[in-house]
Structure 1
Amino acid sequence: MALPVLFPLRPVDSARVTVAHLPHGRRRVTIDHRPLDGVTPAMLLDWFRGLGGTLEYGGAVVPRYLAWHPVDHLHWALARPAPGGGADEGARFRIVEQFGGRPDRRVDVVDRVEKLDATGIRLVQRVAGALVFQLEHTWSPGRGRTHYVSVLDIGARSLLLAPLTRVLTRRFPDDMVTAWVRHNVEEVGQLEHLLPRLPVPGAAASR
């Protein structure tokens, strides 16, 4: 489903971005976003718990996930519900997207939601219990706005898993990292436009 881009996409230079090369070939990308005006942590928590829902966008009712980034987002599904049901801690999210709308920059992954609360969300992939991929978004309240930071960790901490880390970094080389940074800055910026249009958390939400 191709959707129009109704709201301005934030430029990369609206955020502070750092890339760190860590032991055993690991890589960490940190994006300190420009604060989200009119957004609260409660609204963000409600957004992620309701990713499978819909919203009104451009005169039509569409999946939230597609409206979140009309160019890059292709599909979101609850691959496994949380132990208590729904999209919460312990759930598994299937995420399909292509950075910059380019098929050669497509990702199709299933991540476990290791954390989802009023302070942020953490998505992980593990091999034999060892963490090999982590994307964590943290947020904190300000006066009429929310501070939002995204941290992407690629690779395992263990030297024994260094070969796997090399595989992961080959699949996510420097050009993919650059494309992901732009994607993340753009999608986080869209929340400033989308969330204030939704019902107040705690009221009847669009699901």
Structure 2
Amino acid sequence: MKALELPAPRPVLWPLRPLESAAVSTSSDESRTIVTITHAPLEQVTPEMLAWWYGHIPGTMQYAGKTVPRYLVWHPLDHISYELIGPGEVVTPGSLVRLTEAPGRELDKLVDLEVTVETIDSEVAIITKRLLGSSIVRLENEFTPTNVGSRYTTRLTLGDTTALGRLLLNSVAHNRAFPTPKLTAWIRHHIEEVGNLENFLPDLFHYRAAHEP
């Protein structure tokens, strides 16, 4: 099998948000790890735009004078690919997607997951990686409106409270899916990608939302 290679970095047209722009907390519960990230507010990005975005990450857009996959614009350095496995052409609850990214452009911290979309609406977008009925990785993105845009909170849960999770699979979540160095790099990466939404999503939404299902 050919070794995975990072695509060439795209130009970074806007400053990426620093780690310090968000409040990060970590807690443990029944051998699970729960990471909560309270992002700095997103200006001019409404919950309606965020709901549309999570349904329409597949596709292309104009960026730095080229037509580029939207996922590669979302984080111009770290993102590798986003594949909607199905069903349909729009991401909806029940969709299976495969996302691949390398936080910090370090392949030893590669995130390569097939996840199921649980919910997408104007309040939350949730994806989950399950194994034998237990959640290995669950990512909840919650958003609420403000006078100028949205508040955005992320909750990443590693592991489950099921018996199989406590006995076996939670260790898989911590040691294989997100060992500590990868989790630390991912937190920074996620703060950067969420912050980047305010730089391109309002224009993309206004130009494309009216023309896509």
Q: What TM-score comes out, normalization by structure 2 length?
A: 0.90
1:112-131 equivalence runs, <5 A: 112-131=116-135
My pick for the range that moved more, 122-131 or 181-190, is 122-131
Q: Contact conserved, 2:136 with 2:172, CA < 8 A, in 1?
A: no
Query: Which residue of 172, 175, 189 corresponds with 1:170?
Result: 175
- In 2 relative to 1, CA 164–146 (structure 1 residues): closer, same or farther, beyond 3 Å? same
Which residue of 1 is the match for residue 36 of structure 2?
Answer: 30
Which residue of 1 is the match for residue 24 of structure 2?
Answer: 17
Query: Which residue of 202, 208, 211 corresponds with 1:204?
Result: 211
1:55-204 equivalence runs, <5 A: 55-81=61-87, 86-162=90-166, 163-171=168-176, 172-200=178-206, 202-204=209-211
Name the CA distance, whole Å, in 2 between partners of 1:198 and 1:158: 41
Name the CA distance, whole Å, in 2 between partners of 1:186 and 1:167: 26
My pick for the range that moved more, 160-169 or 30-39, is 160-169
- In 2 relative to 1, CA 199–133 (structure 1 residues): closer, same or farther, beyond 3 Å? closer
- In 2 relative to 1, CA 75–202 (structure 1 residues): closer, same or farther, beyond 3 Å? closer
Spell out, residue by residue over 1:88-144, the C-alpha distance to the aligned partner (whole angstroms, 9 max, x if none). 111011000001000101111110000011112100122232223200101011002
Indicate the SS of the match to 1:187.
helix
My pick for the range that moved more, 13-22 or 151-160, is 151-160
What percent identity do the matched residue pairs reach?
Answer: 39
Which residue of 1 is the match for residue 4 of structure 2?
Answer: none
My pick for the range that moved more, 165-174 or 13-22, is 165-174
Q: CA deviation at 1:32?
A: 0.3
Q: Which amino acid aligns with 1:69?
A: H
Name the CA distance, whole Å, in 2 between partners of 1:51 and 1:32: 22
Query: Which residue of 5, 27, 32 corresponds with 2:12?
Result: 5
Runs of 5+ unmatched residues, structure 1: none
Q: Which amino acid aligns with 1:15?
A: A
Q: For the aligned residues, what is the CA RMSD?
A: 1.6
Spell out, residue by residue over 1:48-75, the C-alpha distance to the aligned partner (whole angstroms, 9 max, x if none). 1111111111111100000000111000
Q: Which amino acid aligns with 1:86?
A: V
Q: Which amino acid aligns with 2:170?
A: T
Name the CA distance, whole Å, in 2 between partners of 1:101 and 1:148: 25
Q: CA deviation at 1:202?
A: 4.7
Q: Which amino acid aligns with 1:67?
A: V
Name the CA distance, whole Å, in 1 between partners of 2:171 and 2:132: 17
Q: Which amino acid aligns with 2:64?
A: G
Q: Which amino acid aligns with 2:173?
A: L
Count of equivalent residues: 203
Indicate the SS of the match to 2:140.
strand
Q: Which amino acid aligns with 2:134?
A: A
Q: CA deviation at 1:148?
A: 0.4
Indicate the SS of the match to 2:210.
coil
Spell out, residue by residue over 1:135-159, the C-alpha distance to the aligned partner (whole angstroms, 9 max, x if none). 0101011002100001000012123
